Structure 1
């Protein structure tokens, strides 16, 4: 009977643990990749593929270390006094509390930290299960709540510093040069050196016990780390530099990615006769309003304003540009709340109309949902029951494929005349727009930094998500409380990482549409600095078994790079304030939800 009850609790807890991992992918991973997608360095579909590869690699290579902190560092195993059932129920309640809160926030496009949601929920559960005195509120050898919550202030600040340092290096090494393109081409291997060194160090320093990496001497660690980074730097100089030279400097639009294997031979490859007429993508952030103009004058006014914001008529970031933007605000329409919602609904309907025209399973699903809408009357009316029966298969297909076809760029713009739209315009006005050729080159570099950031997320957040599940599995399978030094099974790390990737693929768009360009002006050179700064911070915290929020790190790096524009108004502080507020509110809310569930479960009447 006891074993049967354990099985029920473990099954329910597993569902909540996987749901928490799913929401982690839809929230934190989406936030990590929003920078690359917003900068147009990768498409959403490309980000999905790269996310799967590097999330799994980071989780399997490094992830188990932070899992031990989540599992045993907050509520010590001996606090359960040998009662495996209470420990199993505690971890199940913690997963439920964290997943419910993050799921609600993700559904409402609210950006929160899944890491701190889980940590706060565990703390609340600990108070309800074993009493506040048994919860590790202090430092506890770097594993207690004091150490974890120290990252709430430390991680964004450290990420901001790293991101700013990297971008300032790019700015003064490349952007301010009279001829910046060659400088950008020949300095690009530096990023391979940094990325290779950081990722290798994260694996071999206090690395996987299964590979014996945790017992290697410092000299061996330093040699492997520096050697790997140097090797990647050399390989990029041989193959990557000639490729981007032909692609950006020679403007060889006929060059295919697989031709990079030719290496230095590409320097001798003749450019097409019409190469000079080819153009690189425009990486300037342009606010295209999803508003139907009433007259030609309205269209002309918006075009003129967009030109001013993007530096076509005045120098971006200059006083004239900012003043012009401010002066035109008086002429822009102000919408009521109801009108604003109608504009957003109209934009969404246009997006759905385009999807209905497409071929394939999603097009069929969207057409089926459009044809079989619920009509007047209660749900049990015959016509609504028939429509609902027809909608179910289409709803399943749409849930799986909708995110892959979501227009992230359209969703990130601000409605013309709205407070947020005007605020974004002012923020963009303070940012200097650099050469599109240089930004195009850094779009290739940003793929490397985005993969590094995804690897870092897998190393940290997958371990956070799997920690409580590993504790539940140990208590259920052995009948004893999970040991303080119990290993996390590799299959659990892999499963959790896979579910996180599924969350990003199917629902990540809901967070990405409110992130990215709404914090500060984005471009590939800025985005690569943000991602690398965040990745370095995350991996440093992982090395010391400290769970840290990927969301907080990428936000801190974004603010740090935004301030490098030279003006405090180059950052959307209203949005930053909302993010910080959501982080702070996560602690008591997630703790109360998890603790409340545990208190109800423990004190349920027994007959």
Structure 2
């Protein structure tokens, strides 16, 4: 039996399920990769490629097929008393409320957990549909609301502790040495061992429930974990150490990435004839880059977009006793922001490719005077629409994340970030370079685990909708999720990461504290350990909240509270807390209105 009369509910629910997955990629996944991008271990475009590959790989190969917490853990299917139509309507309203809230927050660069948003909206819908008594407010075997929200406060704090411990270990072993470069090279296999062990456990306990690995005996898990960690450690000692030794210590400018496969042969590899002129240069991992060429202006860079208030803008206002100059200060700030954005867009228009063409077309064809339905404006609109689509798809790939994080000179935010960076010690690029490879390993594993596990948060309601629409039974929510559904939503998550993830990345990472590869890999490992600990006690936690807590913990390792942007941290915590009542009220009110609306059947 197919509920053809509810097909429109299924179609609308499907659209909101896709939007929820899109928001998941633009919010949660973007936050997961923000640490690596902020540390400059990987470029934004590379992060998009690796993020897409590992998110989809984790979701499709070992993704959670049941998503029980979202499907049945909060509202038992028995509460619907076999009414598949009401069940479909409930999850459609939950998806609509959650996706709308997360989209609004993402648009305004406010990071919230899409998982907590969806869970809160499902709870609100449950109250409106079957009553508060039917909602699982307690522990419910680790799947109720009590268990879900238990980690809201604890997880970031514990992650901060783990991240700080790992970074202090790196700091004691390497950074505090008189000559830290050799220590960084020779100790690399040990930190590869630590990272690989944590990553393996993340896949076993967090990312692959369908493989049943965590049901294996303890000795089996220990053997797999230590075997994988030991194997990565051995390979790094054989291949990575000789390669970094040649690049960093010998300063062999002829070394290339593919020479890593030579392994031990690099120890005896003769220096090229022009070795005196070819000196290896490692990347610059400094947060603030200095450019002097107008053609390479970075959006928001404190040094390259230095706007002189005396020459080009009204003089910076000082608030007097009556506060009459506040408006002038606000105008100053808006002018600085607008001029910085225009310089960035001007650089994009000078380039080549589809994005440059689209940006030029939009710039040269503004909507004219009068209403949108004027004939001349309709003609212009037909030119602008394809360009707007191109810009929407490619703008994020060209956005300067680092410059936006450091703020614009002359604004309160830019000055605040300068003070934060000034309180963080900068370590040699040669040392940071060794940890950039470890951080790529931890980031890819975190993305795999996220795709394998958290895909259930988006696909769960959609699976309920599809099952009820296809069979007409509310009990169909017990069925497994189809692989094609995992593939569709994982692809949608990747699209959200690529096209809209920059809105979250620009306010995470360096916007909280100074980042570098050694700090970044400590943050990611600290977050992974926290997720593992909570998984052992069946406490679902948000990976995004864990990485944020670990970021603060590592930032405090600079030895001063001034090394952390507490304003941004406060806004994050406020957004997390507000997600619960706002998403719950949106879902409950929407369900109540729709369920009790006049009908003629």
TM-score (norm 1): 0.89
Shift of 1:61: 5.0
Give, in whole Å, the separation in 2 of the partners of 1:121 and 1:593. Answer: 7
Give, in whole Å, the separation in 2 of the partners of 1:140 and 1:202. Answer: 24
Give, in whole Å, the separation in 2 of the partners of 1:224 and 1:368. Answer: 56
* Aligned partners of 2:207 and 2:449 also within 8 Å: no
Corresponding position: 1:55 with 2:55: yes
1:277-301 Cα shifts (integer Å, max 9, x gaps): 55433322226242333789x9xxx
Give, in whole Å, the separation in 1 of the partners of 2:166 and 2:66. Answer: 27
Describe the SS at the equivalent of 1:409.
Answer: helix
Give, in whole Å, the separation in 2 of the partners of 1:253 and 1:68. Answer: 54
**1:105 to 1:156, Cα distance in 2 relative to 1, 3 A:** same
**1:545 to 1:83, Cα distance in 2 relative to 1, 3 A:** farther
Q: Give the stretch that moved more between structures: 246-255 or 426-435.
A: 246-255
Shift of 1:494: 2.5
Residue of structure 2 equivalent to 1:301: none
**1:423 to 1:208, Cα distance in 2 relative to 1, 3 A:** closer
* Ranges in structure 2 where 5+ consecutive residues have no aligned partner: 289-300, 314-326
* Aligned partners of 2:10 and 2:466 also within 8 Å: yes
Corresponding position: 1:16 with 2:16: yes
* Ranges in structure 1 where 5+ consecutive residues have no aligned partner: 299-333
Describe the SS at the equivalent of 1:251.
Answer: coil
Residue of structure 1 equivalent to 2:241: 241
Residue of structure 2 equivalent to 1:320: none
* Aligned partners of 2:402 and 2:510 also within 8 Å: no
Give, in whole Å, the separation in 1 of the partners of 2:535 and 2:52. Answer: 20
* Aligned partners of 1:32 and 1:454 also within 8 Å: yes
Residue of structure 2 equivalent to 1:291: 306
- Between the two proteins, the alignment pairs up a number of residues equal to 572
Describe the SS at the equivalent of 1:64.
Answer: coil
Q: Give the stretch that moved more between structures: 264-273 or 361-370.
A: 264-273
Corresponding position: 1:361 with 2:363: no
**1:8 to 1:179, Cα distance in 2 relative to 1, 3 A:** same
1:316-335 matched pairs, under 5 angstroms: none
Shift of 1:208: 5.2
Shift of 1:544: 5.7
Corresponding position: 1:274 with 2:288: no
**1:547 to 1:15, Cα distance in 2 relative to 1, 3 A:** farther
1:424-469 Cα shifts (integer Å, max 9, x gaps): 2222222111112111222222211221222232234222222211
Q: 2:460 aligns with which of 427, 443, 467?
A: 467
Residue of structure 2 equivalent to 1:388: 381
Give, in whole Å, the separation in 2 of the partners of 1:68 and 1:545. Answer: 13
Residue of structure 1 equivalent to 2:321: none
Residue of structure 2 equivalent to 1:263: 263
Describe the SS at the equivalent of 2:143.
Answer: coil
1:306-351 Cα shifts (integer Å, max 9, x gaps): xxxxxxxxxxxxxxxxxxxxxxxxxxxx981122112111111111
Give, in whole Å, the separation in 2 of the partners of 1:457 and 1:141. Answer: 22
* Aligned partners of 1:74 and 1:122 also within 8 Å: yes
Shift of 1:120: 0.7
Residue of structure 2 equivalent to 1:303: none
TM-score (norm 2): 0.90
* Aligned partners of 1:520 and 1:571 also within 8 Å: yes
Q: 1:521 aligns with which of 514, 519, 533?
A: 514
Shift of 1:384: 1.1
Give, in whole Å, the separation in 1 of the partners of 2:467 and 2:279. Answer: 64
Residue of structure 2 equivalent to 1:329: none
1:254-291 Cα shifts (integer Å, max 9, x gaps): 32222211111122234452368554333222262423
Give, in whole Å, the separation in 2 of the partners of 1:421 and 1:600. Answer: 45
* Aligned partners of 1:460 and 1:547 also within 8 Å: no
Describe the SS at the equivalent of 1:336.
Answer: helix
Shift of 1:530: 0.9
Describe the SS at the equivalent of 2:128.
Answer: helix
1:107-126 matched pairs, under 5 angstroms: 107-126=107-126
Give, in whole Å, the separation in 1 of the partners of 2:578 and 2:437. Answer: 38
Q: 2:423 aligns with which of 419, 430, 435?
A: 430
